[in-house]
Structure 1
Amino acid sequence: MDAVRTWMFRILFYGLSIVMVMLAPVAGLFGTRALQAHANFWAWQMQFLVRTIVGARVRIEGALPEGQLLFAGKHESYFEALELTRILGAPATVMKRELARIPVWGWAAQRYGTIVVDREANAAALRGMMREAQRARATGRSVLIFPEGTRVPPGEAPPLRSGFAGLYRALDLPVVPVAVRSGTVWPRKGMMHKGEIVVRFGAPIPAGLPRREIEARVHAAINALNG
């Protein structure tokens, strides 16, 4: 049954995704809010298919703080890449540059307000990310980053990428750790499985902490929440 559910989901989700990506520039012509609504609808489609086709329940734990924040998320599957933007009210999301180069999608993503960063994380790339993040902060938007840099299988805890500490310092915002336990339902490789996806919000960590302390606290928090 897992194979049947997986292929049904893939056909429907990726088929709809092609349509949503092609329509994104049209939404973008009507401004950022229209594009945010478009992205939210795409995220809703994905969650609906995960629930109805794959048979996964979605549960949210912890209070979502109010105000402008830096969200640091644990990344296990594509699920949270879309769903967190909907739950968190369209934050500016840090995105790797390879995705920004995809025709149509890249333009729409940058129009949406994503923050593009090179994975090489050289000094010039990091400075560019800081400038984009500060522009997002000036508009009143929160920022979402997956500080481990990529999707990781459940149970793994790689170190945070170097760009996180610089972003934290540049934004001067409290950090809210977020863990989305989605990899058991939607693994990076192989079939999808019926089960439960849990979104957990941790307690805010204040701004202004030294680099080693903030990295240690965020790393510990997102992995503890994911247990």
Structure 2
Amino acid sequence: MLSVVRSALYFLIFYPGTVFYCIAALIAARFGEGPIRRVIHGWASFHHLLVTKLLGIRFELEGTIPAGPVLIAVKHQAMVETIEVLLLVDTPVVVMKQQYVNTPLLGATMKSFGVIGVDREAGASALRAMMQRGKQAIAEGRPVVIFPEGTRVPVGETPELRPGFAGLYRALGLPVVPLAHDSGRIWPKGLVKRPGVIRLKVGETIPAGLKRGEIEERVHRAINALER
């Protein structure tokens, strides 16, 4: 019962707070990249505070994510890691579904911060746009975060990676830093979130230039390291 109450309070506080930060970000965008990045970082910190203090969830990180332009491949089980990664990685450009980028207010905020929207139905044109934005991120010295499974997956499932990952890896020529975690155990779909510990494990950096089969196999194994 306590988890139900805490979860309800989380949603009642987080979403109005997100609207506030979106408006603040759009105002900050008029003053350059620095102010808007600080607002987005503030939003992620606000979410982290709610998760840890209100929901009673702790994060345990094993390893260190290197700074600079790298391609960070993250396991995707829940919403929580998509926001937490903004605190783990220095001003990343995040690859996400185009439908989220098109969301009113939040989408405009994401665009001002720098995201790569992917429209799966657009085919090759979507991949070209993703690569172009990824190269721009490299020029800015920013890392690129991608959820190579393409969508959230239930705990215990290890689907093959979406083909766009290998294309982006080849086009950007960056080493890959895999990030495994087990957020889905205590952050299932639906309202109720359970207190506990989310473990995150940074895998060994994988060099650029590998063949598609090898890079996909190594990343797949690394981001699922906590599934075994």
Q: How does 1:17-166 map to 2 (within 5 A)?
A: 17-120=18-121, 122-166=123-167
Inter-CA distance 2–22: structure 2 relative to 1 (3 Å threshold) = same
When structure 1 is superposed on structure 2, of 112-121 and 156-165 the one drifting more is 112-121
The answer to whether the 8 A contact 2:68-2:142 is kept is no
Q: 1:12 offset after TM fit, Å?
A: 1.1
Match of 1:189 in 2: 190
TM-score (norm 1): 0.95
**d(CA) in 2 for partners of 1:90 and 1:180?**
20
1:58 alignment partner, SS class: strand
Look up the equivalent residue of 2:73 and give its one-letter code. A
Q: 1:121 offset after TM fit, Å?
A: 5.6
Look up the equivalent residue of 1:89 and give its one-letter code. D
Cα displacement string for residues 94-126 of structure 1 (whole angstroms, at most 9, x for unaligned residues)? 021111112222222112111111123611111
Look up the equivalent residue of 2:221 and give its one-letter code. A
Cα displacement string for residues 12-56 of structure 1 (whole angstroms, at most 9, x for unaligned residues)? 111211211222201211222211111111111111111111111
Q: 1:190 offset after TM fit, Å?
A: 4.2
2:185 alignment partner, SS class: coil
2:91 alignment partner, SS class: coil
Q: 1:64 offset after TM fit, Å?
A: 2.1
The answer to whether the 8 A contact 1:92-1:142 is kept is yes
Cα displacement string for residues 51-91 of structure 1 (whole angstroms, at most 9, x for unaligned residues)? 11111111111122233210000011111111112211111
The answer to whether the 8 A contact 1:153-1:188 is kept is no
The answer to whether the 8 A contact 2:57-2:195 is kept is yes
Look up the equivalent residue of 1:179 and give its one-letter code. A
**d(CA) in 2 for partners of 1:69 and 1:212?**
20
Match of 2:209 in 1: 208
Match of 1:11 in 2: 12
Runs of 4+ in structure 1 off by over 3 angstroms are none
The answer to whether the 8 A contact 1:93-1:114 is kept is yes
2:178 alignment partner, SS class: strand
Q: Work out the percentage of aligned pairs sharing the same amino acid.
A: 44
The answer to whether the 8 A contact 1:24-1:105 is kept is no
1:187 alignment partner, SS class: coil
Q: Could you list the runs of 5+ residues in structure 2 that have no partner in the other structure?
A: none
| Number of residue-to-residue matches in the alignment | 227
TM-score (norm 2): 0.95
The answer to whether the 8 A contact 1:176-1:201 is kept is yes
The answer to whether the 8 A contact 1:59-1:197 is kept is yes
Q: Could you list the runs of 5+ residues in structure 1 that have no partner in the other structure?
A: none
1:29 alignment partner, SS class: helix
**d(CA) in 1 for partners of 2:82 and 2:31?**
24
Match of 2:223 in 1: 222
